[in-house]
Amino acid sequence: MRVIHLSAEGVSIVIATTDDGMPEIVHWGAAVTSAESDLLAFVEAEARTGMEGDSDVPYRASVLPEHSRGWFGAPGLSAHRGGSGWAPRFALRSLTLDGDEAGAGVTSAGAGRVCAELHDAHAEIELALEIDLTPQGLVRTRARVRNTAGAPEAAPLEIQSLAVALPIPTSAQEVLDFTGRWGHERIPQRHPVVRGDHSRVSRRGRTGLDATLVQAVGAPGFSASTGEVWIGHVGFSGNHEHTIERTDGRLHFRGGESLLPGEIRLAPGEEYSGPWVFGSYGCGLDGAAARFHSYLRERSRSSRRPRPVTMNVWEAVYFDHDHRVLVDLAARAAELGVERYVLDDGWFRGRRDDRAGLGDWTPDPLAWPDGLRPLADEVRALGMEFGLWVEPEMINEDSDLARTHPEWILRAGPDLPPRYRFQQVLDLTHPGAFDHILGVLDGLIVDIGVSYLKWDHNRDLIAAGHPASGAPAVHEQTLAVYRLIDELRRRHPDLEIESCASGGGRVDLGILERTDRIHPSDSHDPHDRFGILRWTGLLVPPEMMGSHVASAVSSVTGRTHDLQFRCAVAFLGHFGIEWDIRDLGAADRRILGEWIARYRRHRDLIATGRTVGAGELDAMSPQVRGVVALDQAEALFTIITPATSPDTVARVRFRGLAPDRRYRVSVSGSDSFGPPWQVPAWLRQSPELGGDGDGDGDGEREGDGPVIAGAVLARVGLEFPTFHPDRAAVVHLAAVAAP
């Protein structure tokens, strides 16, 4: 028996295997501090011998469960070679920890990577498993399959599915996952764990607007701060599956790529690697989410410098590009304190609407007779970076590129797939198409001086086959997109990229490890956006979520909200504007400028603090999103009133604060929370949340505002009015020195 115990940041994972068996995770959850001898005794104590040690021997599901050993759930590997070899039984060749062979008994370490090499000599398949515990306490695992058939004429090994499994205690009896649509992603749904499979499969060729993003399983009634929670996520941007599987005495999160028929057919010597599947454990949703945030912050370029306040011009001008108007917008944005200016769709050849031009990535000669360089230079002269919208994976049939290279459009047969958004999909697996798009993007970045790409993906992939053969192409297309982004970032180390896909249609760790932020939704309606930001934030830290203030009347929902509410909801994110600010009155200009200054002052806290939330279990209570400094010296909380409530006030707790410290309160937000006599004194008496562009000005006035003990704020809370719907307050709590 070999046992490996890894432990980091309050999480343990215990992996056991016999000399010839597949690794099994016997514990994943709270850190285990037992001695190695006790761990070995625990593993041996649960052994079941079956009938006289020879028959009916129970099978405990491994990381890649095997039907051939008696597993009747979904097998981890489903494959065959011409109809045979479909029930492989793998034998262990080696088991290593960080490259060193693990011996008999227990091997203990902190963070580390376990690799198991296995094979089935009869089926002629090699299997490699990786189980990684990161320094953040995040588990990730993946499998790789290799066809080792010796005869060149052997039938290819067809992989139908490859999905790894992470065990969860059966005491976790409730599931939280998500659905959605365009304009309203991340709608939560909760239900009990049931026997059998609860699968969420995306076959859209991208993560999907209705994709679940994560599956969380926990103790009944788990919340942001309470109950043990296990979160699973598949880090892949193409077709994929998230599944909760409950069988006899076992509960698993299972994840992997969802393969199309015949998509992976391995010739002798070829191999297929599944995507990384992630698991995060914590006390409450926020505890589990914090591990994803730390993991991304360690890898993302967005952690290198403060997040620049961004203006995107889409909802200001749409396709109507006029140099003078856009320069005017840039000048007004710079006056407000905007630091990045992004020119959206409509700048390239023939692009007067969404029916033509995709693929022809040169500035339109009618709208931009001198190209985009003059505008970019004017933007930079105003002290802002210049960004550009692109959609390089798509093509309009009405484009010069489509007319020149019709063989570069994905299709499963002779006819093109149905149009969506008047688009088709460019075959980036074709070397010519890949090189063309890489060259075009590289040229734009160099010639114009682009420092930021808003990278869009506005349609699902339907009948996406290689044009020459009709074979499915989603898997290879996804990897080609990764290669394209990786190469651009290699050539341009300071280039930042936003992942947008009709809003939040491509949000996963596969794309997030290559980009610097995501566009959570095409809807900027703050009423819906608060929940979209909250639930997307289970995976994505706030500074990587674009969070823009748009017009008073939402272009998507038609709802109207005041400027204070819109700014307050957008504040805890990567703050920006998507609005025609030419018509701003003096009062709104002052308000927007104040919020931009506040963001610039507090953005380091937003980008480094630990996120907290509350109120998700009660639709009639205030909802809370917060960020608390790691040293608990300060915190920001956005609180919004419910749509309706039978109460005029509700108590809100400010979680994450140090109970033995005292905090000075400042507040900004909606102008009215209801009748003045119903608004608590702390809201009326607190000074305005301060802000200045560089973070070195007066800010909140020293000595002003109530000072309240952290223990009271975190454990008791303060009453918050719920009289009016769609009101928001941003509360800043700053620790004061002990008297």
Instruction: For residue range 267-324, list pLDDT tens digits in order.
Output: 999 999 999 999 999 999 999 999 999 999 999 888 889 999 999 999 999 999 999 9
Chain center to CA of 240: 15
Residue 704 banded pLDDT, cuts 50, 70, 90: confident
E-state strands within 193-293: 196-202, 215-218, 228-234, 240-247, 250-257, 264-266, 271-273, 277-283
Digit-coded pLDDT (tens) for 552-581: 999 999 999 999 999 999 999 999 999 999
Same domain membership, residue 553 and residue 633:
no
The count of structural domains within the chain is 3
For residue 618, the enclosing domain spans 611-736
Of the listed 177, 345, 427, 456, which one is catalytic? 456
- Say if 406 falls within a structural domain: yes
One-letter amino acid at 651 equals: R
Residue 486 lies in a domain: yes
- CATH number for the domain spanning 318: value is 3.20.20.70
- Residue 283: exposed, middle, or buried by beta-carbon count in 10 A (0-12, 13-18, 19+)? middle
Pairwise CA distance, residues 155 & 123, whole Å: 12
Q: Is the pLDDT of residue 229 over 60?
A: yes
**Residue partners of 100: CB distance under 8 A and separation at least 6:** none
Residue among 65, 105, 104 at smallest CA distance from 88: 65
Non-local CB neighbours of 366 within 8 Å, separated by 6+ positions: none
Q: Is the pLDDT of residue 739 over 90?
A: no
Does the pLDDT value for residue 694 go beyond 90?
no
Percent of the chain whose pLDDT exceeds 90: 90
Inter-residue contact 78 to 85 (CB < 8 Å): no
H or E segment and range at residue 293: helix 284-299
Residue 55 lies in a domain: no
**Per-residue pLDDT averaged across 403-432, rounded?**
97
Q: Which residues lie below 8 Å from residue 127, measured CB to CB, with a gap of 6+? A: 64, 77, 88, 90, 117, 118, 119, 120, 143, 144, 145, 146
Res. 671 pLDDT band, cuts 50 70 90: confident
Q: How far is CA 110 from the centre of its chain?
A: 26
Contact 334, 588 (CB under 8 A): no
Q: Of the residues 278, 299, 320, which one is the last residue of a structural domain?
A: 299
Helices then strands, counting H and E runs in the chain, come out as 14, 39
Distance CA 90, CA 144 (A): 13
**DSSP letters of 477-496?**
HHHHHHHHHHHHHHH-TT-E
**CA-CA-CA-CA dihedral for 280, 282, 286, 288, to nearest 10:** -10
Looking at 301-450, list the stretches that DSSP marks H as alpha helix, in order from N- to C-terminal side. 314-317, 323-336, 373-381, 400-404, 431-444
Residue 323, CA atoms < 13 Å, CB-side half-sphere: 16
**Torsion of the alpha carbons at 38, 39, 40 and 41, rounded to the nearest 10:** 50
| 562 has catalytic annotation | no
Whether 221 and 294 share a structural domain: yes
Question: Average pLDDT of 105-114?
Answer: 95
Choose one of 608, 625, 656: the last residue of a domain.
608
Q: What is the pLDDT of residues 89-99, one digit of tens each?
A: 999 999 999 99
- The two three-digit tokens of residue 271, written as one number: 């191999």
Asked if residue 670 is part of any domain, the answer here is yes
Same domain, 279 and 348: no
Amino acid at 236: F
Residue 153 pLDDT grade (very low, low, confident, very high; cuts 50, 70, 90): confident
Percent of the chain with pLDDT over 70: 98
What does the DSSP assignment read for 657-688? Answer: --TTSEEEEEEEE-S-SSSGGGS-HHHHHSPB
Residue 49's pLDDT is what?
A: 86
- Which DSSP letter does residue 232 get? E
| pLDDT per residue as tens digits for the range 237-270 | 999 999 999 999 999 999 999 999 999 999 999 9
3 state DSSP class of 329: helix
**CATH number of the domain encompassing residue 150:** 2.70.98.60
Q: In the predicted model, is pLDDT for residue 695 greater than 80?
A: no
User: Is 53 inside any structural domain?
Assistant: no
In a domain, 416, yes or no: yes
Same domain, 35 and 182: yes
Does 230 share its domain with 318? no
Flag whether 52 is in a domain.
no
- Alpha-carbon gap, residue 542 to 574, rounded angstroms: 7
What mean pLDDT is predicted for residues 417-435? 97
Domain assignment present for 283:
yes
Residues 557 and 521 in one domain: yes
CA dist 145 and 388 (Å) reads 40
| Long-range contacts of residues 435-438, Cβ cutoff 8 Å, at least 24 apart | 436/401, 437/361, 437/392, 437/484, 438/484, 438/487, 438/488
- Residue 522 annotated among the catalytic residues of the structure: yes
Distance CA 95, CA 102 (A): 6
String of DSSP letters for 176-211: EEEEEETTEEEEEEEEE--SEEEEEEE-SSSS-TT-
348 — pLDDT class (breaks 50, 70, 90): very high
- How high is the pLDDT of residue 692? 56
User: Which pTM was predicted?
Assistant: 0.96
What pairing do the DSSP bridges indicate for beta strands 196-202 and 184-192?
unpaired
Which of the four pLDDT bands, split at 50, 70 and 90, describes residue 703? low
User: Each residue of 372-395: b (16+ CB within 10 Å) or e?
Assistant: beebbebbeebebbbbbbbbbbbb
Residues 129 and 192 in one domain: yes
Statement to judge: residues 338 and 236 lie in one domain: no
Question: Which one is predicted more confidently, 617 or 478?
Answer: 478
- Give strand pairing partners of 15: 4, 25
Say which residue the tokens 């097998």 belong to: 75
Q: pLDDT value at position 693? A: 41
> What CA–CA distance (Å, rounded) separates 471 from 417?
14
DSSP letter for each residue of 592-606: HHHHHHHHHHHHHHH
Q: Answer yes or no: do 252 and 317 share one domain.
A: no
Same domain, 155 and 38: yes
Pairwise CA distance, residues 173 & 155, whole Å = 44
Whether residue 630 contacts residue 610, with contact meaning beta carbons closer than 8 Å, is answered with yes
Asked whether residue 251 falls in the same domain as residue 338, the answer is no
Tell me which of 244, 269, 299 is where a domain ends. Answer: 299
With bands split at pLDDT 50, 70 and 90, how would you rate the model's confidence at 54? confident
pLDDT digits 0-9 by tens, 485-518: 999 999 999 999 999 999 999 999 999 999 999 9
Among 364, 427, 522, 726, the active-site one is 522
For residues 561 and 625, membership in a common domain is answered with no
Min mean pLDDT across 384-398, 670-684, 713-727 is at 670-684
Instruction: Provide the mean pLDDT of the chain.
Output: 95
